[in-house]
Chains A and B, each alone.
Chain A
Amino acid sequence: MAGVEQALRETARELLREGKVGTIIGYVRGSTPFRSTPAFIENEEEADRLVFDVTCGSNLARYVRNHGRDGRVAIVAKGCDGRAVVQYLSEGQLKRDDVLIVGVPCTGVLDHGKVSRLVRNRNVTGFREENGKLVFEGDGFEVTADREDVLADSCLRCRYPNPPVHDVFLDEPAEAAPDGLHWQELEKFEQMAAQERWAFFEKEFARCIRCYACRNACPMCYCEECFVDQSDPQWIGKGIDPSDTMLFHLVRALHTAGRCVECGACERACPLGIRLDLLNSKLEREVHDRFGYTPGTDPDETPAMATYDEEDKQEFML
């Protein structure tokens, strides 16, 4: 992975030097060794701060739409950032020339919530990858974790670890998760009785504090004004009654149906570790099975929700 980082910095320097872009949206080291933070690199000297590794979890695509002001912008894109950009292109939110995609192969990113729970919130001062394991150390402790225990769930079943479209690609493409794994969690969940599923969601959403970190981390939640922030009319109660909390999550899931790029940024952003993936996963499967559409894979394809065909399945209509 160090090779990728070096190539990334060289590419960044070159792009800035040649004036191909004004800003590179990437990651730099965060305030703790197992975190990184989004950064907007505007000159060559700063390019050496760029990193790319397992800590780079934020979906950077959400910054692209608002960042055209310095001319062309480049984005460091792992598979899911790239898919979000592609989805923007097919939704008419960006033009292909607006953004230069620097593709990086992704082997998964940390769920920092999982890490915090694993190290019991202790202060991590060192982090390294060793023999395929991840090691977190601090004052008087060292915790070694299997990748499965600390990587984001969305990464463990990722189908697109490389951006489907790119201008530059650094290093060799990463391998996707084995076939069949992708829908496994969903299929397991679907086996549960309706009442059990309801109980599960009730329990998960009972933790929601309506901070909207999920929505704001999501590259696809780009409405200028979210329905929960409208006051005239006010569509939804602002408290934490289960009906209001649930309504927010259900509407968000429906608004992202056929658009969700499965990056899992919502789940990683949630401070309370709520399982947000299942609703989206179910809807993605429905859209895929009915319309053969996978969001963020082909910029020239019309989004499933923007097209109509008489042959579309509609047996669900009452």
Chain B
Amino acid sequence: MSKPLKLEKKRFGEFVDVLLSRYWVFGPVEVDGVARFRRIESADALKPGFPGTVESPKGVFFPQMETMLTGDRNEAASTSGPEEPIAIVGARPCDARALLMLDRVFGTGERTDPYWTRRYRDALVVVAGCTEPMAGCFCNWLGSGPFGRTGADIMLTDTGDAFVVEACSEKGSGFLEQAKGLSLSEASGEDQSKAEGVRSAAESAMPEKTDVSSLKEILDRSWDSPLWDRLAERCLSCAACAYLCPTCHCFDIQDEKLPGTGRYRRIRIWDSCMAPLFTKEASGHNPRPAGRERLRQRVMHKFNYFVEACNETACVGCGRCVRSCPVNIDIREVLAEFVNAG
């Protein structure tokens, strides 16, 4: 891997310009007072502060609503993907890890999902390490940290006036090689030790962790735990947690008429196991009739079934559900309760 580089913040725009010349660039920008991942078309739209976002960047690669094909009675045509590969800038390490996790679902194995793959396969993921944990963050419980590199191609470490820029993959290395000299210079030993200081300060600022290594086995025998009832009592059964989650990936497919055209479209939209319709069968029977079963499914999928299938939890500890749950159901407390109950 190439040597660490330095990007002065005053030259951040030039770096983004290089990205813009090759990629469709997405980053966290303020839209009507809320920071959201949006496509940016000029360098000054993206500020090097990278605010934390309520939503995760999964929507860049797996949009909430995506037209798969359009057609009429005689023919159907699938939609095309982005014209340029996607670069995402200013995602958090947990977000990058989550994208890689989603790639396990959509982009790996015998059959891959073309809609996901056409966006993610060539994407460049530029991660900004977290200098300060946000409320609800718990990536350190799940084997990562504020500067975790899983799923990242390039890591930016904020040292004040500059970023120390490091490649975390061949793809990242290749890009930096080409971009070198344009806005990047070699990081000095002093820059690197500054970056090291920032990283270790961030790691020590992380909240105390609960050991969740036995969680999978505990959940194996917790199907009938009374904890589900207690949780379901206050859970509103909304989908805020699932839709903000960077790894929740369930979807529905619907055909819709396009009014006045005689044509239709087939769309794929996010769905959530918290929704009553999610498992409702044609007969009217619903195997997950109420909040208890739905909530259990969501926790089990993340911390038990996915572990079984992929040997990792489908949770990266980003804390979005913690921050946004209307009734303050804190997944950290939920996990700790199961662990403590054994």
| Interface residues of A, Cβ cutoff 8 Å to B | 30-32, 35-40, 58, 62-63, 116-117, 119-124, 139, 203-204, 206-207, 209-213, 215-217, 225, 229, 231, 237-241, 265, 268-269, 271-273
A120 to B36, CA, bound (A): 14
Of B83-91, B107-115, B151-159, B318-326, the one contacting chain A is B318-326
* A38 proximity list for chain B (CB < 8 A): 233-234, 327
Of B47-55, B187-195, B300-308, the one contacting chain A is B47-55
Do B55 and A239 have beta carbons less than 8 Å apart?
no
Do B132 and A213 have beta carbons less than 8 Å apart?
no
Do B276 and A209 have beta carbons less than 8 Å apart?
no
Query: Does residue B144 face the partner (Cβ distance < 8 Å to A)?
Result: no
Query: Does residue B330 face the partner (Cβ distance < 8 Å to A)?
Result: yes
Distance to closest chain A CB from B119 (angstroms):
18
Distance to closest chain A CB from B334 (angstroms):
10
Do B32 and A213 have beta carbons less than 8 Å apart?
no
Query: Does residue B222 face the partner (Cβ distance < 8 Å to A)?
Result: no
* B207 proximity list for chain A (CB < 8 A): 123
Instruction: Tell me the chain B residues, 325-341 only, with Cβ under 8 Å from chain A.
Output: 326-330, 332-333
* A39 proximity list for chain B (CB < 8 A): 234
* A237 proximity list for chain B (CB < 8 A): 254, 256
* A225 proximity list for chain B (CB < 8 A): 276
A36-B328 CB under 8 A given contacts A31-B333, A124-B135, A203-B32: yes
A selection of 15 A-B contacts at a CB cut-off of 8 Å is: A35-B328, A37-B328, A116-B323, A121-B135, A122-B132, A123-B137, A124-B135, A203-B32, A207-B31, A216-B237, A216-B326, A217-B327, A237-B256, A239-B254, A272-B55
Q: Which residue of A lies closest to B326 (CB)?
A: A269
| Interface residues of B, Cβ cutoff 8 Å to A | 31-34, 36, 51-52, 54-55, 64-65, 132-137, 205, 207, 233-234, 236-240, 242-244, 252, 254, 256, 267, 269-270, 272, 275-277, 280, 322-324, 326-330, 332-333
A209-B64 CB under 8 A given contacts A32-B135, A35-B328: yes
Q: Which residue of B lies closest to A117 (CB)?
A: B33
Contact of B244 among A215, A229, A271 (CB under 8 A): A271
Distance to closest chain B CB from A95 (angstroms):
22
Do A58 and B244 have beta carbons less than 8 Å apart?
no
Do A209 and B277 have beta carbons less than 8 Å apart?
no
Q: Which residue of B lies closest to A234 (CB)?
A: B254
Distance to closest chain B CB from A16 (angstroms):
17
Do A271 and B135 have beta carbons less than 8 Å apart?
no
Do B238 and A212 have beta carbons less than 8 Å apart?
yes
Do B52 and A121 have beta carbons less than 8 Å apart?
yes
Distance to closest chain A CB from B228 (angstroms):
14
Do B34 and A207 have beta carbons less than 8 Å apart?
yes
Q: Which residue of A lies closest to B234 (CB)?
A: A38
* A62 proximity list for chain B (CB < 8 A): 236
* A122 proximity list for chain B (CB < 8 A): 132, 134-135
A110 to B19, CA, bound (A): 41
Do B239 and A212 have beta carbons less than 8 Å apart?
yes
Do B327 and A231 have beta carbons less than 8 Å apart?
no
Do A241 and B280 have beta carbons less than 8 Å apart?
no
Do A272 and B54 have beta carbons less than 8 Å apart?
yes
Distance to closest chain A CB from B261 (angstroms):
15
Q: Which residue of B lies closest to A39 (CB)?
A: B234
A265 to B64, CA, bound (A): 25
Distance to closest chain A CB from B129 (angstroms):
16
Do B133 and A216 have beta carbons less than 8 Å apart?
no
A37-B324 CB under 8 A given contacts A213-B238, A216-B237, A237-B254: no
* B65 proximity list for chain A (CB < 8 A): 239-241
Do B326 and A217 have beta carbons less than 8 Å apart?
yes
Distance to closest chain A CB from B183 (angstroms):
27
Do B277 and A207 have beta carbons less than 8 Å apart?
no
A273-B34 CB under 8 A given contacts A121-B134, A213-B238, A216-B236: yes
**Which among B32, B36, B332, B333 has the highest number of chain A CB atoms within 10 Å?**
B32
Q: Which residue of A lies closest to B333 (CB)?
A: A31
Distance to closest chain A CB from B232 (angstroms):
10
* B31 proximity list for chain A (CB < 8 A): 207
* B252 proximity list for chain A (CB < 8 A): 238
